[in-house]
């Protein structure tokens, strides 16, 4: 039984390391949330109007403003954005905090060790 418990513990540690690697890579790969949106849209061939509808925005202009860095991606749309653009919610949320709310990101890191 002890070996099984150790094995599960090691699996959890590996999962955390992999998750941290992905978070770091997201920031390194895209640099900013604006670039992330631009590149994922291109990759998925999503027009602003389609992404806008998927995220529940009233106007495709909102997507344009996020892409151009003129406004933040709304926090309330993080979950749906992660789903639509095919990334883990946790990594997008950490990216969001790091870019838009650095003080909160520090707290997040200290609480979750990420």
- Give the pLDDT confidence of 59-113 residue by residue, as tens digits: 999 999 999 999 999 999 999 999 999 999 988 998 999 999 988 888 888 887 7
- pLDDT at position 54 is 95
Residues 6-20, mean pLDDT to the nearest whole number: 59
Residue pair 85/95 in contact by the 8 Å Cβ criterion? no
Distance of alpha carbon 41 from the chain centroid: 14
* Average pLDDT over the chain, rounded to an integer: 84
In the chain, DSSP finds a helix count (H) and a strand count (E) of 7, 0
Cβ-based neighbour number of residue 63 at 10 Å: 24
- pLDDT at position 27 is 81
Q: Show the domains of the chain with their CATH numbers.
A: 19-112 (1.10.260.40)
Task: Report the C-alpha gap between 41 and 16 in whole angstroms.
Answer: 28
Structure pTM? 0.74
Q: What is the CA radius of gyration of the chain?
A: 17
């Amino acid at each position: 039984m002890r070996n099984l418990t150790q094995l599960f513990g090691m699996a959890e540690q590996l999962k955390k390391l992999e998750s941290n690697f992905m978070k770091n890579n997201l920031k390194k790969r895209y640099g900013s949330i604006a670039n992330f949106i631009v590149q994922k849209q291109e990759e998925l061939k999503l027009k602003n109007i389609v992404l806008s509808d998927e995220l529940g925005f009233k106007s495709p202009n909102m997507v344009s403003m996020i892409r151009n860095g003129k406004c933040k991606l709304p926090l309330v749309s993080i979950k749906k954005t992660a789903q639509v653009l095919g990334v883990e919610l946790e990594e997008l949320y950490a990216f969001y905090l790091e870019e838009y709310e650095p003080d909160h990101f520090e707290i997040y890191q200290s609480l979750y060790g990420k």
